[in-house]
Amino acid sequence: MPFDVFKKEIVKILSHALGKEIDCSAIEIPPDPLMGDYAFPCFTLAKEMKEDPNEIAQSLLERIKPNKYIDSARVMGPYVNFFVKKDVLFNNVLLDVFSQKERYGEKKVKGKTILLEGWQPNTHKAFHIGHVRNAVLGESVARILEFYGYKVIRVSYMGDIGAHVAKWIWYFNKFYKGNIPKENVGKWAGNLYTLASIKEEENEMYKDEINDVHKKLEEGDKELVRLWKKTKDLCLKDFWKIYKELDCKIKDSYFESEVEITGKKIVKNLVEKGFAKYDEGAIVADLKEYGLGLFVLLKNNGASLYSTKDIALAYLKSKNYKFDLSLYIVASEQEFYFQQLFKTLEMIKYKDASKLRHVSYGLVMLKEGKMSSREGNIILYDSLRDKLVKKASDAIKERKLDAKKKKKIIESVTFGAMKFTMLNQDSNREIIFDPEQALSFEGETGPYIQYTYARACSILKKHGSKVKGNVNFSLLKNEEEKKIVKILAEFPEIVERAALSYKPSLICKELLDLSQSFNEYYHKHKILQGDKELEKARVLLTFCVKNVIKNGLNLMSIKVVDEM
């Protein structure tokens, strides 16, 4: 990692000056480049030494000498700020990016296998923008972890049984008079679910009828099971089409129907072993001593719950795979549930309990509030995609491009806008989804970064000659160039932080900073010009920017185009 060369050198200098080891994490990046490239705050030392941090900083400065990496050091209050040698920085970073290309930022961490569960829509409901966030986040986290060096096994877990399916089948048999469509089944099924939810509220008897359908389904009623399987398969066909469009690479699929019966057996067995008990007819795990209350494992009427099935699923995963970590990418509203689930699995001696992690993300909300399939106030995936396609088409309709190229640009921009909107926000925060803002092609958007990539491609194409690494780095003198190189240098560290925190938003911010800095540089300085040696150096810088943007967008499953 190129930036580490300088961090490690500063740590070595400081450790020697202090006579004690300093950790790399103590080194900070100043908010303003005029303050230096790195900074060492003396507050912690002040507590240990019981001295004024400003005086400690001044004392340290007197023991620091420039070397082949560090140009100078200055004290600014309680900070010792370091300025690195620009030509060494440029040489290290740009040649690393140039030589490694698509591997720049990649780590060589080996030996860890991550089982990643995401992609969790329910059949017989519509696939909406909340599901898009789940799918896009899961795929991006998987790609980042793979780039970091881990082996990732992607699995989906879909809800194909339960009360929502019983309600849907009840409405279909009792009220629906049409045929099952051959296309857009998911949208049709979702609409029926909304109608079923509305109809259910009209008469208290309808709830009993739905419960009866649910009971008969669980008992294996042949006609109901036949309808369930047929409509489930049609819904899944739609889901797989969407996942293909989103470029999600799912290895295996699990369904609630696979683990329900096993889950009931496991839960009933937990009572016999003393890990669970009956409470008013239901089976519960008592987690009060851990501050987690009672965890209901089976309803008092014998019906299964998410917990019933998740316990069985955990055992099935361990049977099918060997893994070092098992990640559950599920919305943050389920955080307490996963605390209860993981504690229960630990209590019942599930062998991989210590390897479980909940990677939470905020819900996608509308301005009007929370989306609900039951109430029908959702933005469907198809609707969002089609609006983005139209806007992308309108944006390039005047361009003289062949049909094949236009189609590629429209698709890339469409999914770039969609995915970046879902990933740019910190995953722990809710997204207040504004369709108009999401469709914007300016500002902090995926298309803005894609456009920067295309601009860099255009510059390289006009340059005409093959990009070479043997340039005169001393010709790159201005602060804008240094700012860009520092961002490039940070990329591997950002990838590592994103991998270890499961936060693609860190890479989004990095690419936005890089794109904004490069566009400012482009408007202020001529890259292609009469001074051919300077041009070669600036073209190499442009090539490196293009390469890192491509690497970063690939980690978000966003495609690039060389012309827009």
Residues 338 and 211 grouped into a single domain: yes
Q: Which of 25-29, 275-279, 374-378 has the lowest mean pLDDT?
A: 374-378
Instruction: Indicate whether 302 belongs to any domain.
Output: no
The answer to whether 295 and 284 are in contact (CB under 8 A) is yes
User: Sorting pLDDT into bands at 50, 70 and 90, what band is 248?
Assistant: very high
Question: Greater confidence, 155 or 402?
Answer: 155
Decide the pairing of beta strands 282-286 and 277-279: antiparallel
Residues 385 and 364 grouped into a single domain: no
Instruction: Indicate whether 196 belongs to any domain.
Output: yes
Instruction: Please report the pLDDT score of residue 200 as a whole number.
Output: 95
User: Which of 38, 60, 84 delimits the end of a domain?
Assistant: 84
Instruction: Please report the pLDDT score of residue 1 as a whole number.
Output: 42
The average pLDDT across 498-509 equals: 97
Residues of the chain above pLDDT 90, percent: 80
Asked if residue 551 has pLDDT above 60, the reply is yes
Residues 62 and 197 grouped into a single domain: no
Residues 365 and 385 grouped into a single domain: no
pLDDT tens, residue by residue, 77-110: 999 999 999 889 999 999 999 999 999 999 888 7
User: Which of 62, 84, 106 delimits the end of a domain?
Assistant: 84
Instruction: Please report the pLDDT score of residue 482 as a whole number.
Output: 92
Residues 195 and 151 grouped into a single domain: yes
Instruction: Indicate whether 305 belongs to any domain.
Output: no
Cα–Cα distance for residue pair 502/498, rounded to 1 Å: 5
Asked if residue 345 has pLDDT above 50, the reply is yes
Element (H, E) at 309: helix 306-320
User: Which of 311, 338, 370 delimits the end of a domain?
Assistant: 370
For 84, residues 6+ apart whose C-beta sits below 8 A from its C-beta are 6, 37, 38, 69, 70, 71
Residues 360 and 412 grouped into a single domain: no
pLDDT tens, residue by residue, 388-419: 899 889 888 888 888 899 999 999 999 999 99
* CATH number of the domain enclosing 14: 3.30.1360.70
* CATH number of the domain enclosing 225: 3.40.50.620
Q: Which residue has the tokens 């082949």?
A: 68
Mean pLDDT of the chain: 93
Instruction: Indicate whether 99 belongs to any domain.
Output: no
The average pLDDT across 203-209 equals: 95
The answer to whether 422 and 131 are in contact (CB under 8 A) is no
Strand order, beta sheet including 277-279: 277-279, 282-286, 294-298
Q: What are the tokens at 488?
A: 């490039």
Instruction: Please report the pLDDT score of residue 432 as a whole number.
Output: 81
Decide the pairing of beta strands 38-41 and 70-76: unpaired
Instruction: Please report the pLDDT score of residue 447 as a whole number.
Output: 92
Element (H, E) at 479: helix 479-501
Instruction: Indicate whether 495 belongs to any domain.
Output: yes
Q: What are phi and psi of 440, to 5 degrees?
A: -70, 145
Domain containing residue 24: 2-84
Residues 204 and 327 grouped into a single domain: yes
Residues 505 and 356 grouped into a single domain: no
Asked if residue 322 has pLDDT above 50, the reply is yes
Q: Is 99 exposed, middle or buried (0-12, 13-18, 19+ CB in 10 A)?
A: exposed
Residues 354 and 439 grouped into a single domain: no
Instruction: Indicate whether 90 belongs to any domain.
Output: no
Residues 399 and 519 grouped into a single domain: yes
Number of domains in the chain: 3
Instruction: Indicate whether 102 belongs to any domain.
Output: no
3-state SS assignment for residue 106: coil
Closest CA to 464 of 406, 519, 532: 532
3-state SS assignment for residue 438: helix
Instruction: Please report the pLDDT score of residue 265 as a whole number.
Output: 97
Q: Which residues pair with 321 in a beta bridge?
A: none
Residues 136 and 178 grouped into a single domain: yes
Instruction: Please report the pLDDT score of residue 273 as a whole number.
Output: 96
pLDDT tens, residue by residue, 33-60: 889 999 999 999 999 999 999 999 999 9
Instruction: Please report the pLDDT score of residue 485 as a whole number.
Output: 95
Instruction: Indicate whether 242 belongs to any domain.
Output: yes
User: In this structure, what is the dihedral angle of CA atoms 518, 522, 523, 527, given to the nearest 10 degrees?
Assistant: 160
The answer to whether 547 and 452 are in contact (CB under 8 A) is no
Asked if residue 520 has pLDDT above 80, the reply is yes
pTM of the model: 0.92
Residues 449 and 544 grouped into a single domain: yes
Asked if residue 439 has pLDDT above 70, the reply is no
* CATH number of the domain enclosing 525: 1.10.730.10
